[in-house]
Chains A and B, each alone.
Chain A
Amino acid sequence: MDETVSEFFRRTILKIPLTEMMTILKTWNFLSENQLQTVNFRQRKESLVQDLVLLCEENRASLNDAALLDIIYTQFHRHQKVWDVFQMSKGPGEDTDLFDMEQFKSSFKKILKRALKNVTVSFRDAEENAVWIRIAWGTQYRKPNQYKPAYVVYYSQTPYAFTSSSQLKSNLPLLGQALTVASKHHQIVKMDLRSRYLDSLKAIVFKQYNQTFETHNSTTPLQERSLGLDINMDSRIIHENKTEKERVQRVTQEIFGDYPQPRLEFAQYKLETKFKSDLNGGILAEREEPLRCLVKFSSPHLLEALKSLAPAGIADAPLSPLLTCIPNKGMNYFKIRDK
């Protein structure tokens, strides 16, 4: 086995936490049960990795096998990457999309290989007719860098592709082109949506985040749900402004719904607006040029945090539509200018 491939294996396996080692190796399904049984998984990690690399050499593992292992590791640790969303569109009056996965894969690979001689493209099929693509970029003269790959997750017959933000931004147009042509679309546009949580991004663009529907089978009437006021808490506590609190709860529920919010870490607003003030005068009020500033909201779970603002009394209800439109519009980057 090639020295570089061997090293690639070593570094990939070293990344895997010991607690996940068995699961990931089994998912990879490259080393047999018998072979795995010969390995002592309780030894020091360095030695364990060495043993495993030796086994891979025995099996004549190729670069592609290593790439596949890398994909599996990334699938298990998808939150370690930040994902962008691209939207593709077809021309008007297109024929029915008869998506052939094998055709897509070969077409995609062909386009990249034609443009860049040195590129490693690997595929792994995933659930819901999706495919994970790993691309290691090289140049005309340099071999692909296996340690800074880009990932693309594409669900067949949808206009959306999710890409891990690659550090090599120069290859982005080529990637876009390959995706568009291989999936028989005409155009590709980067959406203003970014997050670590791939599943939340999918829920937002596929509009799957609100799946509660009223049917005749449902038995819980809306009024029965607790308003979170917990009035039975202590009889000595009297809630002031009960009607206002209930109004806030109602408005929050109307806007945010009952479902768990998709997970985003931030929302960013680039403002280019003239300064608006209630007070008369002031230096900034007379300024003709628009002010440029960046407002960024960060949270481990931004939408849940926004949802709790009004009930906690920190903000008025209803919240600004700039905040509440995030999942609906599929954006968490905004540029706001004066109309």
Chain B
Amino acid sequence: MELANTLSQDGESRGGVLAHLERLETQVSRSRKKMEEPQSAQAEESALGTRIHELRRLRDKLRAEVKQHQASVKASTTNVESDQTSEITEQESLKRKRENVKAILQAYRFTGISGKLTSRGACVCISTAFEGNLLGSYFVDLVMRKPLQIHHHSIPVFIPLEEISAKYLQTNVQHFLFTLCEYLNAYSGRKYQADRLQSDFEAFLAGPLQRNSLCNLLSFTYKAEPEGQSFPFCARLLYKDLTTTLPTDVTVTYQGTDALSTTQEEQRAAHENLFFTKPLHQVFTSFARKGDKLDMSLVS
């Protein structure tokens, strides 16, 4: 360009001024731009800013909605659940209560006399025990009528039920039941002792145990030491009182022909006393223990 060429004579000054001006112009435009930029940027910024705000607001709104929705769903489900669980727990608790009561009623057996109401009256159960061992149970089905009647029962035929009911059934049912309970418990106890003697102490018996239905007469020949030198004694136990488990009469005799020595006589009397005071099987347990003691003395 000429200008540029003409400038070149002045050299720098002409080229310089125009160029300078040009430079200034560009500077200004640049700075104007720059000035504009922040403005637009600012505008943009503010626009963005507002957009951000909006979006945030929207986000918060949606968040809130979601939360609310979740909460409501939760609430509704927990409502349903709590209804159900409260129903279930109510049912369960009733069921548990019922089973509890039923178990208590069943456990009443352990008191000895328990019962259940029937359509006719009541069915009474007498549970017998001896020395902490639960033995047989016997039933009396009563008909609540005037006069009070026994519909059917499981009392053994040799227990004097008719006698007892003739005395007490109409006048005092409680006494009737207690008396029956006494007789049955005593019978069960005597039977238990006789059974134990037969099964656990067979080695001590020289012959079979003689007994009867009520187990109120027991007769047997025994040795205090099954393999030892002791003499066989004959024992005869009578239980005249049907309400007791210990004998009322005891006779221990020696079957041999020679007279007894003093020690043997002492032993015989001691045995008699034992049979009077201790249950039968316990007497034989003490015989067995004495035998053990003797063995120990031999060893030492």
Q: State the A residues within 8 Å of B (CB).
A: 95-102, 128-129, 155-158, 160, 205-208, 210-211, 213-217
Q: B154 to chain A: which residues have CB within 8 Å?
A: 208, 211, 213
Q: State the B residues within 8 Å of A (CB).
A: 102, 105-106, 108, 114, 116, 118, 123, 125, 139, 141, 152-154, 157-158, 210-214, 216-217, 219, 238, 240-242
Q: B123 to chain A: which residues have CB within 8 Å?
A: 213-215
Q: Are A213 and B141 in contact (CB under 8 A)?
A: yes
Q: Are B217 and A215 in contact (CB under 8 A)?
A: no
A96, A99, A160, A213: the one within 8 Å of B240 (CB): A96
Question: Whole-angstrom distance from the CB of A205 to the nearest CB of chain B?
Answer: 8
Question: Whole-angstrom distance from the CB of A92 to the nearest CB of chain B?
Answer: 10
Q: B238 to chain A: which residues have CB within 8 Å?
A: 98
Q: Are B213 and A206 in contact (CB under 8 A)?
A: no
Q: Are A129 and B139 in contact (CB under 8 A)?
A: no
Q: Are A213 and B157 in contact (CB under 8 A)?
A: no
Closest chain B residue, CB of each to CB of A259:
B152
A97, A210, A211, A216: the one within 8 Å of B102 (CB): A216
Q: Are B214 and A214 in contact (CB under 8 A)?
A: no
Complex alpha-carbon distance, A213 and B142, angstroms? 11
CB<8 Å pairs between A and B, sample of 8:
A96-B242, A128-B213, A160-B157, A208-B154, A211-B154, A213-B154, A215-B116, A216-B114
Q: Are A158 and B240 in contact (CB under 8 A)?
A: no
Closest chain A residue, CB of each to CB of B141:
A213
List the 10 closest pairs (A to B, CB-CB), nearest first.
A157-B158, A213-B139, A216-B105, A157-B213, A99-B212, A210-B152, A206-B157, A129-B213, A214-B123, A156-B212
Known interface pairs A208-B157, A211-B154; 6 further A-B residue pairs with C-beta atoms within 8 A, sorted by A's residue number: A99-B217, A129-B211, A129-B212, A157-B212, A205-B157, A207-B153
Q: B125 to chain A: which residues have CB within 8 Å?
A: 213, 215
Closest chain B residue, CB of each to CB of A219:
B102
Q: A157 to chain B: which residues have CB within 8 Å?
A: 158, 212-214
Complex alpha-carbon distance, A206 and B213, angstroms? 14
Given the known A-B contacts A206-B157, A213-B125, A215-B123, are A101 and B152 also in contact in the complex, defined by CB atoms under 8 Å? Answer: no
Q: Are A97 and B214 in contact (CB under 8 A)?
A: yes
Q: B102 to chain A: which residues have CB within 8 Å?
A: 216
Closest chain A residue, CB of each to CB of B240:
A96
Complex alpha-carbon distance, A156 and B210, angstroms? 12
Q: B108 to chain A: which residues have CB within 8 Å?
A: 216
Q: A214 to chain B: which residues have CB within 8 Å?
A: 116, 118, 123, 141
Complex alpha-carbon distance, A270 and B210, angstroms? 46
Question: Whole-angstrom distance from the CB of A309 to the nearest CB of chain B?
Answer: 22
Complex alpha-carbon distance, A102 and B152, angstroms? 34
Q: A100 to chain B: which residues have CB within 8 Å?
A: 210, 212, 217, 219
Q: A210 to chain B: which residues have CB within 8 Å?
A: 152
Q: Are A98 and B157 in contact (CB under 8 A)?
A: no
Complex alpha-carbon distance, A102 and B212, angstroms? 11
Complex alpha-carbon distance, A213 and B121, angstroms? 12
Q: B116 to chain A: which residues have CB within 8 Å?
A: 214-216
Q: Are A155 and B157 in contact (CB under 8 A)?
A: yes
Q: Are A155 and B210 in contact (CB under 8 A)?
A: no
Complex alpha-carbon distance, A160 and B118, angstroms? 32
Q: A160 to chain B: which residues have CB within 8 Å?
A: 157
Complex alpha-carbon distance, A205 and B116, angstroms? 27
Q: Are A158 and B158 in contact (CB under 8 A)?
A: yes
Q: A95 to chain B: which residues have CB within 8 Å?
A: 240
Complex alpha-carbon distance, A213 and B123, angstroms? 7
Closest chain B residue, CB of each to CB of A103:
B217
